């Protein structure tokens, strides 16, 4: 495609340089925002008397048609154009003639691309938030279903204390609520219009930046033109927020992979979200969770890549800044895919409560409660502790758990043991005794569910 900036130079660029320079392959996804921005720009130019009202109408109608044509597949974006801005302007001029050449008055691709990026990433952020909400809903619904299902809670991956499976899932709901909060916060700083900063220094035309920004739904305009065209903090922030979200999904992935193993057998994923092996017929692999865990690394790379591209860049626009796109688009797409797969995967996950309970029993995680029982009956804690330890050792050697050891056996260790001991060491009772705010008791799990639902409705 002929170069619109040909003038000082002939516009003859070597084919390989042309390809290297082009961003249309990845910025074409911003066509809607680019055109929306141009429509607002034409309206502003007309309001200020910089172009005629009739001219603006022609530009706006044609721009809207171009947008619709692309969406409907009637117009294919020509990848020989340098970038989406050039493509749209060339197509416009092709359709409406010379008046199309008036659109780029009082703006530059530098403020235009900054505008497109902000608008596009705000839309992406909304989509990520919506998908995160769906996953929180899936987790929270599961949590409600298993608000009294005992599992071993772990520290150091060693069985530590009995907890409710619902309590464990809700820990992830809380993380994801914070992720949404961060994304919403990031949007506040994205919501600043750079258009009208022009190439770097503003313009001699009598523009109305506030009007143009308001047409596009921005709350504010950038107050320094150099900063307006070169600020990419919002890209960094969004990348950080997505990277954090991925970190959370990756931790959940790791747990799902462990829980799905024969060794744990706490959950079984639906066939719809697992794969088999091409050689081992017995296999059912948690590929989705593994992929999410793996892709998290790439998203971290996207964040570091952006930081590195910006490091040491002098003001204002430098072509390095074209590198702000692929990484953040990749992160947006990756996190959205991950969320879209995770919500139904969690919703259809089968929970094997019996296995969880057995694992909790074999962990002797109620041994402290056994010692407390004797202490309550008057024995000094040190002695209770020693007796409980000996009983645990006997159980291990003889294939018992504390719940199944007969009372006669208990009595061999201490006369203080009575039938009521079984109530005290019942795992469900142990967990329900932890009813401090945010604790694992069923009552607390119910409160957490109510809290999450309220947050989602805010």
Q: Which residues are marked as active site?
A: 156, 277
- To ligand ARG, the closest distance from the beta carbon of 322 in angstroms equals 4
Q: Which is nearer to ligand ARG, 232 or 357 (CB)?
A: 232
Interface residue with ligand ARG, options 146, 273, 317, 329 (CB under 6 A):
317
Which runs of consecutive H residues, i.e. helices, occur in 13-156? 15-21, 24-27, 31-47, 53-71, 84-96, 109-145
* CB-CB contact of 39 with 339 (8 Å): no
- To ligand ARG, the closest distance from the beta carbon of 65 in angstroms equals 24
Tell whether residue 225 is a contact of ligand ARG (CB under 6 A). no
> Which residues contact residue 254 at a Cβ distance below 8 angstroms, ignoring those fewer than 6 apart?
289, 293
Q: Which is nearer to ligand ARG, 110 or 225 (CB)?
A: 110
Interface residue with ligand ARG, options 93, 148, 265, 322 (CB under 6 A):
322
- To ligand ARG, the closest distance from the beta carbon of 89 in angstroms equals 12
Tell whether residue 91 is a contact of ligand ARG (CB under 6 A). no
State which of positions 21-80 bind ligand ARG (CB under 6 A): 23, 27
State how far the Cα of 155 lies from the Cα of 126, in Å rounded to an integer.
36
Place of tokens 């593994």: 290
Q: Which is nearer to ligand ARG, 117 or 335 (CB)?
A: 117
State how far the Cα of 417 lies from the Cα of 409, in Å rounded to an integer.
10
Number of residues this chain uses to bind ligand ARG (CB under 6 A): 9
Interface residue with ligand ARG, options 33, 55, 83, 91 (CB under 6 A):
83
Interface residue with ligand ARG, options 143, 170, 306, 321 (CB under 6 A):
321
State how far the Cα of 171 lies from the Cα of 136, in Å rounded to an integer.
10
State which of positions 92-121 bind ligand ARG (CB under 6 A): 109-110, 113
Which region among 132-140, 317-325, 356-364, 383-391 touches ligand ARG (by CB under 6 A)? 317-325
> Which residues contact residue 345 at a Cβ distance below 8 angstroms, ignoring those fewer than 6 apart?
269, 270, 273, 288, 289
> Which has the closest alpha carbon to 67: 97, 100, 28?
28
b/e string for 163-176 if b means 16 or more Cβ within 10 A? bbbbbbbbebbbbb
Which region among 9-17, 163-171, 203-211, 316-324 touches ligand ARG (by CB under 6 A)? 316-324
- To ligand ARG, the closest distance from the beta carbon of 335 in angstroms equals 22
DSSP 214-257: HHTT-SEE-S-HHHHHH--HHHHHHHHHHHHHHHHHHHHHHHHH
Judged by the rule CB under 6 A, the positions of this chain that interact with ligand ARG are 23, 27, 83, 109-110, 113, 317, 321-322
């Amino acid at each position: 495609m002929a170069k619109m900036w040909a003038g000082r130079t002939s516009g003859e660029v070597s084919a390989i340089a042309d390809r290297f320079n082009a961003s249309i392959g990845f910025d074409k996804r911003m066509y809607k925002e680019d055109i929306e921005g141009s429509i607002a720009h034409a309206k502003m130019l007309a309001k200020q008397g910089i172009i005629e009202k009739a001219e603006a109408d022609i530009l706006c109608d044609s721009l809207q048609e171009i947008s619709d044509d692309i969406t409907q597949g009637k117009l294919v974006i020509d990848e020989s154009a340098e970038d989406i801005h050039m493509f749209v302007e060339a197509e416009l001029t092709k359709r409406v003639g010379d008046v199309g050449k008036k659109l780029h008055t009082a703006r530059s691709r530098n403020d235009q691309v900054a505008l497109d990026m902000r608008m596009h990433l705000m839309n992406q952020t909304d989509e990520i938030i919506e998908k995160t909400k769906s996953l929180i809903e899936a987790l929270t619904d599961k949590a409600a279903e298993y608000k009294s299902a005992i599992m071993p809670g772990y520290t150091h991956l060693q069985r530590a204390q009995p907890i409710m499976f619902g309590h464990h899932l809700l820990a992830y709901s809380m993380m994801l609520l914070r992720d949404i909060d961060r994304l919403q916060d990031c949007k506040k700083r994205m919501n600043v219009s750079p258009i009208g900063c022009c190439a770097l220094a503003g313009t001699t035309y009598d523009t109305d930046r506030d009007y143009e920004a308001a047409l596009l739904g921005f709350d504010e305009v950038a107050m320094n033109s150099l900063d307006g065209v070169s600020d990419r903090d919002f890209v960094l922030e969004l990348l950080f927020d997505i990277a954090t979200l991925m970190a959370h999904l990756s931790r959940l992935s790791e747990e799902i992979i462990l829980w799905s193993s024969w060794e744990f057998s706490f959950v079984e994923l639906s066939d719809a979200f697992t794969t088999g092996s091409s050689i081992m017929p017995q296999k059912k692999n948690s590929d989705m969770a593994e992929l999410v865990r793996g892709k998290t690394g790439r998203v971290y790379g996207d964040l570091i890549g952006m930081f590195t591209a910006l490091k040491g860049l002098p003001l204002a626009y430098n072509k390095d800044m074209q590198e702000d796109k692929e990484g953040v688009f990749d992160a947006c797409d990756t996190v959205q895919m991950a969320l879209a797969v995770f919500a139904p995967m969690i919703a259809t996950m089968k929970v094997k409560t019996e296995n969880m309970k057995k694992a909790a029993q074999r962990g002797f995680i109620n041994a402290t409660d056994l010692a407390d029982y004797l202490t309550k009956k008057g024995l000094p804690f040190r002695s209770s502790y020693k007796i409980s330890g000996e009983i645990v050792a006997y159980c291990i050697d003889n294939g018992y758990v504390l719940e199944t050891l007969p009372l006669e056996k208990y009595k061999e260790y201490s006369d203080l043991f009575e039938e009521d001991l079984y109530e005290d060491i019942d795992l469900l009772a142990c967990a329900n005794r932890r009813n401090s705010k945010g604790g694992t008791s069923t009552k607390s799990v119910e409160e957490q569910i109510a809290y999450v639902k309220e947050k989602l409705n805010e």
